[in-house]
Structure 1
Amino acid sequence: MGFAFVNNSNIKDITSLNSKMGHFNFFSVHYFNITGVSITAPGDSPNTNGIKMGSCSNMHISNTNIGTGDDCIAILSGTTNLDISNVKCGPGHGISVGSLGKNKDEKDVKNLTVRDVIFNGTSDGIRIKTWESSASKILVSNFVYENIQMIDVGKPINIDQKYCPHPPCEHKQKIVLPLQFAKMLMIL
């Protein structure tokens, strides 16, 4: 299910079961609440992101259960002012920012709060993915992770600045503009 250019709306108390691809995709969505949602797909199902968003702002995700074969929540370029609370994630790849830096003109990701979240049986918990040879200069800032519980998680905190989903990757010789991380607070 996709939402593009939607403002001042919400999704409440629905279930998405066994989607063949990503469950909920958001692009340029602002002031949107997601609450009481259940998202389920087998842990080995590829490309079944639970919630994926890019160029979004002022979104709130709460009281939601997500178990997929990909990211529980994927946060892409240009997303700001995102609040995630009381979410259960697993199976899946955790709550991921990125991948970032693959394309030119990508935008900063800032003001992310993740609190009161349980990761259970995920490959990753908190994850940030950036391409090694970034095509954009991006700032990732003002992230707060608070009261996070990890149960049987492969990599609880994973900051991957050489993201390469399908090795071998060719790393071009060029000037690399590094992704900058600023003001990250983690209280686990």
Structure 2
Amino acid sequence: MEEYDSNSLSIKEDIGIHLSVKTEETLGNGQLQSNVVDVTSFGALGDGKTDDSKAFLEAWEKICGEKGSQTLQIPIGKTFKLRPILFKGPCKSNTINFRLLGKIIAPTKSEWGGKGNGRWIIFKDVKNLIVDGFGIVQGSGPTWWNVVHSNRPTSLAFSGCDNLRLKSITSINSARNHISINSCTDVTVFNVTLIAPEHSPNTDGINIVGSSQVNLFHSTISTGDDCVAINGGCSGINITNVYCGPGHGLSVGSLGRNKANEKVEHVHVKNCTFNGTQNGARIKTFPGGSGYAKSISFKDIILINTRNPIIIDQHYGCRDHCPHTTSAVEVSDVKFIGFHGSASKGAINLSCSEVKRCNGIVLEDITIIPATKGKKLEVVCNNVDGTVQDTTPTVSCLSKP
């Protein structure tokens, strides 16, 4: 399986990400100076071989226990190897800046042991956390991807971190999700680059669970699974100017697994590109679940050889062999507006539940052409109510507004 080499800057150069990101010693309005603590002052060697976890934790305990604005700096030109590690709050400091300028690398699967609970670097209950810099988080994905049913770890996990800011970092070859955001409120992710080979399993770019007011801007996500996955308990998710490809596109769900009640609302995606992705804008739910996915919009989307650009799949996980159920996650008030470009298989697939029809679905200003000349694109439209206008190919089951 292909592995990306983080020792070369060509990856970032190829996708147009500029490396000269400056960090500041001042915070917010420029009035408050941050106290900077370098991990090497606590004994971290940064030679790429020695386990520097102890030094990182000692440095964290120092800044977490101090008042005011604190910065934990990982210096440029060094490579720090970390075992599964937990940076735990709450902290006394008003703000903590985890400033990544160098490189952090993960242990291989054989070095992993039983620790970490499927997560590598964990930030828990840290309010007002900033993770930024032009450094690299390098997972050990190639040592995990071929192992069946292994507990592959997420690279960066944030739990209960309100007012979280992630900026300009790069994550390469995560064993599983690159970034997981769980039970966080007020999150901004800006200018991140997430990279794994196209066929690497479950390497979601950003996985969001039980979180609200999450804003993702100007980022590049090229992985083997969903570029962004928005799961149950999420609301107020805004995604703008994200380049996605390869990968599985941008997904709401899956929702309702094992008859769960899950809710997602107020998700807005705009000015994004899907290039060579398996899917584009997707909502996926399991039969037998309950709850809802509503108030969702996908607008001004560029498609480049996207296999299935528009999908609502309420038969996820069973396809043509779904068991009889009496409940379903309700999907309503979903808008697909301004999709333009090419697809390689199905243009539009609205496969809704016979138990609970999709309603309030809007298709508008859509032109999807075959990526291969002369090929006919599939349109599926079952158990759905809504409107369509200015859309190619034709979606005959929806009404004109």
TM-score, scaled relative to structure 1:
0.92
The separation in 1 between residues aligned to 2:259 and 2:180, in whole angstroms, is 21
The Cα of 1:21 is off from its aligned counterpart by: 1.1
The separation in 1 between residues aligned to 2:261 and 2:193, in whole angstroms, is 30
Question: Which of residues 3, 8, 21 in structure 1 aligns to 2:176?
Answer: 21
The separation in 2 between residues aligned to 1:105 and 1:130, in whole angstroms, is 10
- Match of 1:152, SS state, is strand
Which position in structure 2 is the counterpart of 1:84?
239
Question: Which of residues 327, 333, 341 in structure 2 aligns to 1:177?
Answer: 327
- Are 1:127 and 2:282 an aligned pair? yes
The Cα of 1:83 is off from its aligned counterpart by: 0.2
CA pair 18-152 structure 1, distance change in 2 beyond 3 A: same
Which position in structure 1 is the counterpart of 2:213?
58
* Amino acid in the other structure paired with 2:177: G
The Cα of 1:181 is off from its aligned counterpart by: 1.7
Question: Which of residues 316, 319, 337 in structure 2 aligns to 1:163?
Answer: 316
Bigger radius of gyration among the two: 2
- Are 1:142 and 2:295 an aligned pair? yes
**Between the two proteins, what is the percent identity of the paired residues?**
36
Q: Which runs of 5+ in 1 are unaligned?
A: none
User: Contact 1:78–1:106 (CA<8 Å) still a contact in 2?
Assistant: no
Would you identify which runs of 4 or more consecutive aligned residues in structure 1 move more than 4 Å?
A: 171-174
The separation in 2 between residues aligned to 1:164 and 1:178, in whole angstroms, is 13
- Match of 1:132, SS state, is coil
The Cα of 1:168 is off from its aligned counterpart by: 9.0
The Cα of 1:105 is off from its aligned counterpart by: 4.7
* Amino acid in the other structure paired with 1:6: C
Superposed CA offset, 1:75-111 (max 9, x none): 1001100000000000000000111111455331000
- Are 1:31 and 2:186 an aligned pair? yes
Q: Which protein, 1 or 2, shows the higher relative CO under an 8 Å CA cutoff with sep ≥ 6?
A: 1
* Amino acid in the other structure paired with 1:185: K
User: Contact 2:256–2:262 (CA<8 Å) still a contact in 1?
Assistant: no
User: Contact 1:41–1:67 (CA<8 Å) still a contact in 2?
Assistant: yes
Q: Relative to structure 2, which stretch is displaced further, 84-93 or 97-106?
A: 97-106
* Amino acid in the other structure paired with 2:204: N
- Are 1:93 and 2:248 an aligned pair? yes
* Amino acid in the other structure paired with 2:337: I
Which position in structure 2 is the counterpart of 1:44?
199
User: Contact 2:202–2:224 (CA<8 Å) still a contact in 1?
Assistant: yes
The separation in 1 between residues aligned to 2:260 and 2:162, in whole angstroms, is 23
CA pair 45-74 structure 1, distance change in 2 beyond 3 A: same
The separation in 1 between residues aligned to 2:333 and 2:193, in whole angstroms, is 31
The Cα of 1:130 is off from its aligned counterpart by: 0.8
The separation in 1 between residues aligned to 2:189 and 2:261, in whole angstroms, is 25
TM-score, scaled relative to structure 2:
0.44
Matched residue count: 183
Q: Relative to structure 2, which stretch is displaced further, 104-113 or 41-50?
A: 104-113
Which position in structure 2 is the counterpart of 1:115?
270
The separation in 1 between residues aligned to 2:260 and 2:181, in whole angstroms, is 19
The Cα of 1:178 is off from its aligned counterpart by: 2.1
Structure with the largest fraction of strand: 1
Structure with the largest fraction of helix: 2
* Amino acid in the other structure paired with 1:132: P
- Match of 1:65, SS state, is strand
The Cα of 1:71 is off from its aligned counterpart by: 0.3
Superposed CA offset, 1:21-60 (max 9, x none): 1100111011000000000000000010000011010000
